[in-house]
Structure 1
Amino acid sequence: MIRNFLKIAYFIFTAILPPLVFLILFFAISMIIYKHLEKDISWVDAFFWITHPHAISEHRRDITKLFAFVVYVGIFFFQVWFIERILVNIFSGELKILWRKRMSEVVISKLKNHYIICGYGQVGRTVVDELIKLNLPFVLIELNESIAKELIKEGLNVIHGDARRRSVLISAGIKRAKFICTLIDNDADNLYITITAKMLNPNIKVISRAGNLRYAEAMKGAGANEVIVPEYEGGLVVGRMIARYEKAGKD
């Protein structure tokens, strides 16, 4: 969380750095010119005249008064430049993502009895869509940074990280979650996440994806409540369709 605040501060600082540098130079040059035009004033007076041009008395030289107007216009220009730089960065994609990520972290820290989805592949995407339709709270853990950023832009609660890491699961609220779905397209990773999740929260229910039946048995042995083998399940569905058509044909 602190890291995100520092990133936001850094982006804002880098945005205002160019106008800030030019503003300092503008002040220095203006003070030198004021000192040159009115030799009886101090450096403090020269600085004060930049920010308070109305303080220049009427008996001063006309050229000084004209230069004061130039300084006034210059200060106005810098104000506009500062505001433009800040607004551009506030509404730019990167800063918006950082801010939404920070807000997402706050929401995630308060979630209870929620679902944790590991992986936003084809299966994970379908599960997320269903959870949104059912209006159920969830946290998505996605390793691909570009995908995570796009989903954060959409307002989803997303953690960019490796679901195999304990710290990432803890950030997702594993100890307060009701379900975790390990849907990564790698059986070994899903098995490892299942074991880690059960270690961190023995009461959590686990739904795992497996690529073959051998890993499915291993995941069940590791504590998974349900194991889905998409290829196997798809084959069964096709088999049932064939049986239904065959039965209809005989009738």
Structure 2
Amino acid sequence: MYSTPEKIYRRIQKELLAGAIALVGVLLLGTLWYRFIEGWSWEDAAYMTVITLATVGYGETRPLGDRGRLFTIGLILMGVITIGYIVNRFTEAVIQGYFQEGIRLRQQRRLMKSLSGHYILCGFGRTGQQIALEFQAEGANFVTVDLDDASVEKARQLGYVAIQGDATLDDTLLQLRIDRAICLVAALPSDAENLYTVLSAKTLNPQIRAIARASTREALQKLQRAGADAVVSPYITGGKRMAAAALRPQVLDFVDGILTGADRELYMEEFRLDPAACPCIGQTLREAKLRSQTGALILAIRRVDGTLIGGPTADTLLMAGDLLICMGTAEQLRQLNQILGPIRPQQLPRPPKH
């Protein structure tokens, strides 16, 4: 399925092809008539057909009888109608910029083939638009897909890479190179669509991280059972945040300032301790001197078995596979990245422009 400009482009493409086929048919008809009915040579038959269709005003190649002249009149009419149709379609294509649309489609196909380490955003409604803004602020490499033509056009107008398609279908996800993606966010309008999308994504790429939107607690549980790594309910989360804003407004403002926004000074990032690259494994935080070397703060450590250590002390041991949740400025996190190596090195925050 295609968006409106793509549909029009393909319609024009088919009409131009049909016109070209019709013109070839008329040329063939005229040549065969003069060759077999009038008994001319192939060269004379083809020449007569071309000058007749081109209406250049040359005389008859050989004398024609009444039957031949009547056929020639019909051949001229067919040629004028066919060529006029082709010119009309071609002019419309030029004026409306459909050839530019074709170039854009080819560029999009090349881009899809080159996608790797990207995020797939399914759904460009109100929730999807906010997610796209956050992705853009973080400099994330992402592509969005939606079944609604208007949503796709809006995403493109905002400068996002967007395609029109049904995210619940395997073919659509394969087109988005889900086999090379690192995360899929299902923000479609209905819980059923999000459930199908997560199931398809996990089937095609079991290693992908799947995040889904849920409207109810029941849907939240079903999405978790379907394999979603994280499920977010706007209503439940929104209620919790509103309560936090009422009870602990300064804390919420501080956390929001770290997690979102393009002009923030502090960032949070995840780092995985790779046993093949990290020299700090087997050391304590005191021995690793990460704080003194980079200035970044280690907020928590999640062990491989899922155990979460909040506020680790200087005596906390760093182990292979640990996930470090850190906070600092963009430069501090970059320095920490050189030592530890993040899960998503392409997502490291960029220093704010002054």
Instruction: Find the counterpart in structure 2 of residue 112 from structure 1.
Output: 116
Q: Does 1:200 align with 2:204?
A: yes
Instruction: Find the counterpart in structure 2 of residue 35 from structure 1.
Output: none
Instruction: Find the counterpart in structure 1 of residue 217 from structure 2.
Output: 213
Cα distance change, pair 121–48 in 1 and its aligned pair in 2 (3 A): closer
Q: Does 1:121 align with 2:125?
A: yes
Cα distance change, pair 242–6 in 1 and its aligned pair in 2 (3 A): closer
Structure-to-structure mapping, 1:1-251, within 5 angstroms: 9-10=13-14, 12=16, 44=47, 86=90, 88-90=92-94, 92=96, 96-152=100-156, 156-244=160-248
C-alpha root-mean-square deviation of aligned residues, in Å? 4.0
Q: Give distance in 1, aligned partners of 2:143 and 2:169.
A: 15
Q: Deviations over 1:111-154 (max 9, x none)?
A: 01111111011010111122223332222110112332454466
Partner SS for 1:207: strand
Partner SS for 1:10: helix
Partner SS for 2:173: helix
Cα distance change, pair 48–244 in 1 and its aligned pair in 2 (3 A): closer
TM superposition score normalised by structure 1: 0.64
Q: Which amino acid aligns with 1:146?
A: A
Cα distance change, pair 233–87 in 1 and its aligned pair in 2 (3 A): same
Higher helix share: 1
Q: 1:101 deviation in Å?
A: 2.9
Q: Give distance in 2, aligned partners of 1:209 and 1:169.
A: 18
Aligned length: 202
CA contact (8 A) 2:123 2:144 kept: yes
Q: Deviations over 1:32-69 (max 9, x none)?
A: xxxxxxxxxx9958976998x8x99xxxxxxxxxxxxx
Q: 1:95 deviation in Å?
A: 5.1
Partner SS for 1:159: strand
Q: 1:239 deviation in Å?
A: 0.5
Q: Identical aligned pairs, as a percentage? A: 25
Q: 1:197 deviation in Å?
A: 0.6
CA contact (8 A) 2:191 2:214 kept: yes
Cα distance change, pair 168–85 in 1 and its aligned pair in 2 (3 A): closer
Q: Which amino acid aligns with 1:157?
A: V
Q: Give distance in 2, aligned partners of 1:46 and 1:11.
A: 24
Q: Give distance in 2, aligned partners of 1:148 and 1:196.
A: 21
TM superposition score normalised by structure 2: 0.47
Partner SS for 2:248: helix
List alignment gaps of at least 5 residues for structure 2.
Answer: 1-5, 31-43, 60-85, 250-354
CA contact (8 A) 1:8 1:95 kept: no
List alignment gaps of at least 5 residues for structure 1.
Answer: 29-41, 57-81, 246-251
Partner SS for 1:192: helix
Instruction: Find the counterpart in structure 2 of residue 61 from structure 1.
Output: none
Q: Give distance in 1, aligned partners of 2:90 and 2:231.
A: 50
CA contact (8 A) 2:12 2:93 kept: no
